[in-house]
Amino acid sequence: MAYKLEPLERSFGAVITEINLVNIQDSDFDSLYSDWLKYALLIFPQQHLTNEEQINFAKRFGEMEYDISELSNVKKDGSVRDPSNDDYVKMLKGNIEWHHDSTYMPIQAKGSVFTAHTVPSSGGETGWVDCRASYAALENEMKEKLKNLNAYHSYEYSQKERYGHKSKEESEFSGYGFDVDPKPLRPLVKTHPETGIKCLTIGRHIYKIPGMEDDEARSLAKELEEFSLSNQEWIYHHNWKKGDAVIWDNRCLMHQACPWNYEEPRIMFHSRIAGDKSSELALNH
C-alpha cells in the first residue's frame, strides 16, 4: 500500500495521507477502493483538487449521477446570498437534517466526493453516521419489526413543503428530484451490495410507510435516526480546511451539514456517484 491510512477512533472512517488523488496507480486504487468499502468514509487532507480533478477522481468509483455541483452561499457576482430569504440557502439549511443522498430519486446514490474551497471561520462541518453499526446494535424485536417494512422518500416533502420553496419558475434553485413520480419506495433495512453488511436506510426524506399512519411512520423513522445518533462511536464530524477532500459510501452512511454564520462565504463542490441499478433501484421503479 503506497499511502498512509489512520482509522478514526470510530466504528468507521479513516484519514489517508501520502497520496495524490490526481495520479493514483491502478494497484493502489484497488486497495483504496477496498479501504473505502471497509471504512465507508475516507478523508484526504489538503488535496486542493480542481473541479476537473475532482470529477476524474470520482469517476474511478463508478458512473456519475452528476459530475459536479457547487454547494455555496455565494452568488456568481461574489456577493453572499441573503440568509433569510433565498432558496439556495433554504436548501443548505435543509441539509442540516440527516440523510442519504438521492433516496428520493429512482436510484439511490452510491457515494459522493466532497471538497472544501472556501470555509467559514467556524461551523460548517459535515457529519456522518454509521448505519451499519446502528442496525447491528438494534434489539432483535426491532430487527424483526423492520424486516418487511419499506418507506417512501420524497425531496418534495422534505424540502419544498417544509422549507417553503417557491415554484420552479420563480426559484433559482433547480428543485432536483422534486417531481419524481411515483415517489421511491425503499426497504428500511438493506444489504450492502458489495460488503453484504446490513444497514438502515432512513433520514429526512422518509414521509410514508405503507401500512402505517403518517405520524406513526415518521415517528418510527425518527426513532431509528435517534438510535443511530445515540452512540458517539458511530458519528464523526469533519472540521473542514480549505483543500480537503472526502469520499463516502452513501449506501451505509447518513450525513448532515452543520450550520455556520451564513453572512460568511462557504464554497464546497459535490460530485455524486450513481448507484448500481441492480441494488439501488427503488422497489416501485
Closest distance of CB 130 from Fe ion, Å: 16
Closest distance of CB 155 from Fe ion, Å: 11
Closest distance of CB 254 from Fe ion, Å: 9
Measured from the CB atom, the residue of 101 and 249 that comes closer to Fe ion is 101
Instruction: State the number of CA atoms in the 13 A half-sphere of 10 facing the CB.
Output: 28
Number of residues lying near Fe ion (CB under 5 A)? 1
Closest distance of CB 145 from Fe ion, Å: 28
Measured from the CB atom, the residue of 116 and 146 that comes closer to Fe ion is 116
Closest distance of CB 109 from Fe ion, Å: 9
Closest among 128, 155, 153 to 43, alpha carbons compared: 128
Helices and strands, counts by H and E, the chain: 9, 15
- Please pick, from the candidates 101, 225, 244, 280, the single residue that binds Fe ion as defined by CB under 5 A: 101
Q: Which residue in this structure is represented by grid cell 453484504?
A: 196
> How many angstroms separate the CA atoms of 123 and 120, rounded?
7
Bridge partner list, 185: 152
> How many angstroms separate the CA atoms of 141 and 121, rounded?
45
Measured from the CB atom, the residue of 146 and 155 that comes closer to Fe ion is 155
**Residue pair 73/110 in contact by the 8 Å Cβ criterion:** no
State the residue number with the nearest CB to Fe ion: 101
Measured from the CB atom, the residue of 86 and 101 that comes closer to Fe ion is 101
**Residue pair 201/103 in contact by the 8 Å Cβ criterion:** yes
E-state strands within the chain: 4-7, 14-17, 41-44, 64-72, 111-118, 126-130, 150-153, 185-187, 189-191, 198-200, 206-208, 235-238, 245-249, 253-257, 267-273
Instruction: State the number of CA atoms in the 13 A half-sphere of 100 facing the CB.
Output: 31
Residues in the chain: 285
Say whether 106 sits in a helix, a strand or coil: coil
Closest distance of CB 1 from Fe ion, Å: 30
The window from 53-61, 76-84, 99-107, 199-207 that contacts Fe ion (CB under 5 A) reads: 99-107
Measured from the CB atom, the residue of 19 and 236 that comes closer to Fe ion is 236
Measured from the CB atom, the residue of 101 and 280 that comes closer to Fe ion is 101
Measured from the CB atom, the residue of 10 and 204 that comes closer to Fe ion is 204
The window from 76-84, 100-108, 142-150, 208-216 that contacts Fe ion (CB under 5 A) reads: 100-108
Measured from the CB atom, the residue of 70 and 214 that comes closer to Fe ion is 70
The window from 76-84, 96-104, 162-170, 239-247 that contacts Fe ion (CB under 5 A) reads: 96-104
Q: Does 249 bind Fe ion (CB under 5 A)?
A: no
Closest distance of CB 99 from Fe ion, Å: 6
> How many angstroms separate the CA atoms of 200 and 216, rounded?
18
Closest distance of CB 169 from Fe ion, Å: 25
- Chain residues binding Fe ion by CB under 5 A are 101
